[in-house]
Amino acid sequence: MEEQDSISYSERDGPSLQLNFDAELGSDLLSVRGSLVQSRPVPLAYVMLNATLRSGNDVKFYTKYLLMDVEPGRECGFEICKNAIIAPGEYNCTLEAVGPDGSLACESRRCSLKEDAASSKGDGAAAGGWSELRERAFWAEIESGALEAKAAMEESGAGEAAGEEESGSDEESDLQAAGSGGASSEGRFVASISGKKYHRTDCRYASNIKPENRIYFQSAAQAEEKGYLPCKSCNP
């Protein structure tokens, strides 16, 4: 993948949300990573990020990512991934942020996939299993699905859904208690209650975990006892 240029536009003067992201292409994957900051004086209940990959005027595919409870002035990280066969060529990746009142911001990135890059990534994946990019995509899709499921439960208000949400909260509390006392008593390693990897606290992926979703451990053995796997980036 080679990032060529950046095109930004907004339908409003002085957009209330700032986007900062990069788009990366593989032979079978689109990865959009970045962060956003909203400048409104009140929190946003949610921000839906819609990522669309185009070749000229032809829409290849699109995917989405949901952020909940976006506070004013607070930077929120995200990683949007979509598994799809992508042919070598030039593309535009458009990312639109939509809130409860409609579109907040929309930006595009020019990106490309070269023939030699596509073949080398494919050969590497076949020889050594998952690439780091594909592994990140797998866990990002799981986390995105967990967030959307949580949002659906909160909106339903039905008794059965409320009971399931309460049960889920109890399980999360038990898991946090089983760590090193939760976020109030930080440990050497950190994980997300909706993820499967644990990280060193200074890992770049750890910074993307929301505070309310964090669980801490004093040792690697303690994290692995709870079913978490070590992050391949920071090697805890």
Considering the domain architecture, whether residues 123 and 53 belong to the same structural domain is answered as yes
Considering the domain architecture, whether residues 9 and 122 belong to the same structural domain is answered as yes
CATH number reported for the structural domain that contains residue 32 in this entry? 2.60.40.3880
Strand order across the beta sheet in which 58-70 lies: 5-9, 102-113, 89-99, 44-55, 58-70
Please identify, among 139, 173, 190, the residue that sits at the C-terminal boundary of a domain.
139
On average, the pLDDT of the chain sits at 76
Q: Is residue 145 part of a domain?
A: no
Considering the domain architecture, whether residues 181 and 134 belong to the same structural domain is answered as no
Q: Is 50 exceeded by the pLDDT of residue 34?
A: yes
Considering the domain architecture, whether residues 66 and 134 belong to the same structural domain is answered as yes
Q: Is 70 exceeded by the pLDDT of residue 222?
A: yes
Considering the domain architecture, whether residues 123 and 187 belong to the same structural domain is answered as no
Considering the domain architecture, whether residues 48 and 128 belong to the same structural domain is answered as yes
pTM of the model: 0.49
Considering the domain architecture, whether residues 22 and 130 belong to the same structural domain is answered as yes
pLDDT at 228: 86
Q: Is 80 exceeded by the pLDDT of residue 119?
A: no
Considering the domain architecture, whether residues 106 and 13 belong to the same structural domain is answered as yes
Render pLDDT for 156-215 as a digit per residue (tens, 0 to 9): 655 555 555 555 555 555 555 444 444 445 678 888 887 788 888 888 888 888 888 888
* Strands 29-38 and 197-200, sheet pairing: unpaired
Q: Is residue 222 part of a domain?
A: yes
Considering the domain architecture, whether residues 17 and 129 belong to the same structural domain is answered as yes
Considering the domain architecture, whether residues 38 and 128 belong to the same structural domain is answered as yes
Its domain, for residue 202, covers 165-236
> Could you tell me the pLDDT band of residue 134, with boundaries at 50, 70 and 90?
low
Structural domains in the chain (count): 2
Residue 179 to residue 135: CA distance in whole angstroms: 25
Q: Is residue 148 part of a domain?
A: no
> Could you tell me the pLDDT band of residue 99, with boundaries at 50, 70 and 90?
very high
pLDDT at 137: 61
**Interacting residues of 30 by C-beta distance below 8 A, sequence separation 6+:** 23, 24, 51, 53, 61, 63, 80, 81, 82, 84, 86, 93
Q: Is 50 exceeded by the pLDDT of residue 48?
A: yes
Give the closest residue to 223 by CA, choosing from 194, 201, 199, 205. 199
Q: Is 70 exceeded by the pLDDT of residue 77?
A: yes
CATH number reported for the structural domain that contains residue 185 in this entry? 3.40.10
pLDDT at 185: 52
Please identify, among 139, 156, 180, the residue that sits at the C-terminal boundary of a domain.
139
> Could you tell me the pLDDT band of residue 19, with boundaries at 50, 70 and 90?
very high
Considering the domain architecture, whether residues 40 and 111 belong to the same structural domain is answered as yes
Q: Is residue 192 part of a domain?
A: yes
Q: Is residue 157 part of a domain?
A: no
Residue 10 to residue 130: CA distance in whole angstroms: 37
Q: Is residue 154 part of a domain?
A: no
Considering the domain architecture, whether residues 110 and 215 belong to the same structural domain is answered as no
Q: Is residue 155 part of a domain?
A: no
β-bridge mates for residue 37, sequence order: 18
- 160 or 71, higher pLDDT: 71
Q: Is residue 132 part of a domain?
A: yes
